[in-house]
Chain A
Amino acid sequence: MTTGPIRILVPTGSLGAGAVEEEIRYGISRGAQAIATDAGSTDSGAAYLALGISKNNRGSVKRDLTILMKAGAEAGIPVIVGTSGQAGGDANVDWTRDIALEIADELGIRPKIALLYSEQDKAVLKAKNAAGRIHALAPLGPLEDQTIDACDHIVAAMGPEPYMAALAAGADLILGGRTTDTAVIASFALLHGAPLGPSWHAGKVSECGAQCTVYRDRGSGVLISIDQDGFEVEPLTLTNRCDVESVSAHMLYENSDPFRLTEPGGVLDVTDARYAPLDDRTVRVTGSVWEPKPYTMKLEGAAAGRYQTLMLIGIQDPHVMADVDAFHDRMLAALYQRVRSTIGEAAGDFHISLRMYGWNAVSGDRPPAGTPAPRELGVLFVATAQTQEMASQIAKACNPYFFHFPVAMDKELPSYGFAFTPADIDRGPVYEFKLNHVVETDDPLELVRTKWIDLRREEAA
């Protein structure tokens, strides 16, 4: 490490969540040497990887990236973005690249852009699998080639090394594919010789921006300062603060183990980390340990499965409320019977579920006897079938029964509250994650492709 601490500005928990210009100015005035943020997660499901689409809308991503690229260009410091476009597949990176090029044009700036791709070729993964270099993580078992084939897209989560290489080659802007959140933030510090334990731990603490602060509604970002003995974290809004609890508690967040975090090439161990207030808004952390391990990258694969069609009704009828579970069971049986009698064998191995919102839709559990009836119910009908057309036909066959299903057969048929016409909504396929495996690599760049768009040079030419 050259002189003094390495300072990295983490503007927001995720690109598009809302970077704050004032905060960026403050961070740069405090000596930030790089801006780093991630732009995605698996948390919202497999659709974003399977389809190569963003969860955040284009406008909000463009707004944040404009703020960061402008600040980076003015201060002459690099902007580093990981897991671009929510899922970090090649299409997600390219979507973000196009936004960045549009911004550069609008701002009249000429950054040297590195694009880091970590989407994986199926033949390469099969060869790795055959060589025994792909390992399952619980609860999944050994990887079958047919599972690789079933995926629409597979990414490997990068470590910091591709970012370090791009920074060393002079990148002003890095748009990375799938990467561990921590690696994106730690990369600049690691390139400049900061120690491993504090760099990785600082990356983990700051990965969700102001999530590690006391007042999470005040501002979006934090500044981390990494030195030879530890690191410090402070919020980018002056009225916000970090305290020992807000910083140390972040190791709990979305981790299955609060003390040990597996990353490409090692494990961050914070069992003996010590947290102390440095002043009334900054926390200093020491004692973070990095244990080197053989280099592995975690694989994420997403695939489209069977298709679904939805219908929704609202019910306030007190006769239904008198015994919701019995109503559910009888209606479900009637709907299955209706499909069998009208569509028959052609329906294939279909599935219908009725989710009783207001009663037990979230858990699916039977509420204990004596649970008071709700004032109203939303009943979500979900038909799942091999094709969209069949799911749609199943919903249409069920429509009159779903709409009019009686509590007592000898009374006039009720009509429940449809909110829409047409009543059925084709939802598309179910998107699922298929992999929970790691792949061993010969070196950290083996499964990564770097492409450059050098707008500086294009200007010179």
Chain B
Amino acid sequence: MPVTPLPADKLRACCDLSDLTFETTDDLIGGEEVLGQDRAFEAIEFGLGINNRGYNIFVLGPTGAGRHRYVRRLLDVRAAKEPKPSDWCYLHNFDEPRRPKALELPAGMGRQLRNDMTQLIEDLRAGLPAVFEAEEYRNRRHAIEQEFRERQEKVFEGIQEKATARNIALIRTPTGLALAPVRDDEVIEPQEFQKLPEEERKKIEADIEELQQELQQNLREVPRWDKERRERVRELNKQTTRGAVAYQIMALRAKYMEFGTIVAYLDAVEKDIINNSAQLFLESEQETPAMPILAALQHEQEGPRRPELQFRRYEVNLLVDNGADTNGKGAPVYHEDHPALPNLIGRAEHQAELGALLTDFTMLRAGALHRANGGYLIIDARKLLMQPYAWEELKRTLFAREIKIESPFQAYVSTVALEPEPISLKVKVVLIGDRELYYMLAALDPEFDELFKIAADFEDDLARNDDTVNQYAGMVAALARRLGVAPLDRSAVARVIDYSSREAGDSEKLSARVGTVSDLLTEASHITGQADRRTMTGEDVQKAIDLRIRRSDRIRLRSQEQITRGTVLIDTEGQRVGTINGLSVLQIGSYAFGRPTRITARVRMGRGEFVDIEREVSLGGPTHAKGVLILSSYLGAHYAVDRPLSLRASLVFEQSYGGVDGDSASSTELYAILSALSDAPIRQDLAVTGSVNQYGEVQAIGGVNEKIEGFFDVCRERGLTGTQGVLIPRSNVKHLMLREDVVAAVEAGKFTIYPIATIDEGIETLTGVPAGDRDDKGQFPKGSINALVENRLIELADARRHFGLPAEGTGSG
């Protein structure tokens, strides 16, 4: 029974303008930007409600489905109702400087403490020098210095006087001190000295030796005296500082008396300031060495002092400031766009100084986990996995429930590095990624399930019905407002909705990929603006779609050109045995298009072999091979089942060099073999798509719209004859969202779409010969395709058997 072609109204779902009860999208208020994701929403809400460890959320789904936007909005609303988490600071550890101390404070107090400490140091820097410049201090200091200076002077002058009395001079050499005999204030020349009586010479030498011993003894004492002097000065400095510092710190201690950790810190600060006051607060403070030469040596060894750096230890490194107004009202929601390891767990910055990289607790910087602590952290899963060490460190941190700032190389390189005290962590992490990533992590990482117990799976599409169409219109309106594009009139909204169905590849569905619609609105609005109109029309939307295709279809045009110029052999008229037009889809970036491919089959006697030439040369994928095996099974089970299948069939995609996969051509290949076996020619003005099962039922395939349009474009280029058309699986009819020009051609009777359910329907349509059903005796009607095929297979089996018999006149014996 001939197959009834599809009427034009089955080829495309068209939005009925009368269903849209608005003039422009400006009339639509309160639309949601994300539709049809109820299950995902429930999952997210569920995950957010559980505060136990591991109840982090992985939001999976297609790109452009509005996952980020929805998650952000949901979290913002939820977080606003939650309390602000603590501030976190890092402080200098006076006992162990390389292990900075972490300090948790109520929100806003970190900033207070930081400002108070800054003010304290400023006050001390202003006030303490005055204390040190006071007459009392200066006099006491001077007395100490003088005492020690005099002690030294006395000793050395004593030596000098003794030397002078014996006509000996104390002189300075480049590396020390020496004693030499003098006469008239001049050192005696060697010749003069030799002229002296031996007794006198010996006396001089003995005097010098004696003085030398005394000098050496006293020089040895100098460092001890100097140390003693420094200690006395240090004690004086402590006494001087103690009063001033105690007064300043007392006020702070009273202010923070409820916070034991701050009070302990202030105690440590006070002790440190008192111990180091003079060196810290007096820029000119240089402890005067006893001898000038020692001063020179000290300067050379230590270099100039940098007092500014020494005050850093009293700073408060406010790592997380939740008191700031800019951080919103409730718990933080932080989206880390660049989840590199340092951006995630924080880092210690370094400062280059004299070729070395130096750091301290003031250079510790917060990461996303610090900022989101007490709230929510959103990360793009793909970006996270692309960053070295980031995923492992995130897992480790979530397991440990504390953030530890350390370099990834710290474990491998034995340099002295900061080891800041870890900060306790309570955060809900929301990873957003595509499905492949989710399934990959779930399959390969045993820890993944422990940490991301909630999966929120966003749909690719939603059902198209009256309700959803109206909701979709509301979504388009909301998108238009957010994007700031021209408002859409009804025709424009209708066009967008139809486009959405086409994107979904299903006339009964709407695409959930909001991102694609956003781009379309932006582009269409640009066209509206160019036309100097304020409202976007359906034509604007269509033009935007056309332009989008035009921007992407260079390859399609080249492919089609090769067919129309006869380089790639595709017939669109006439009939051929064993030759059929198959249809394939090429995906280039986000653009997909269909094109016809000639498939041919040749048969001969054999042993039931089906040679898939694509597979033989490694151009065919496993799914394609599967399709070929299925069709061979169909042949073997459908015809001459009581005889061995005695043919050898070869199948090939002609002029295909880029590889083939998928089973959408398996029915096409079967038609070609049936034609070859029955010798019934196939119409070349038809193209075919559809997979087949072992029972000869034609099954749905993907890309049906692109495939039909691909063949239509070739036919239109050559001129539509009215007989041309495409055979598609009947189960694909609901997916039809064909271009308007294709629909128009069908409506005008210039092109035909045949919905095919079985191989028999298909072969009848292609050959014009009935397929034929078996009668009561199990025979196919004479002249039918099935009869012709079966007869040919019987012939081949018989012939094969004949070849297997022994030749006449030969035998054993």
Asked whether A and B interact, the reply is: no
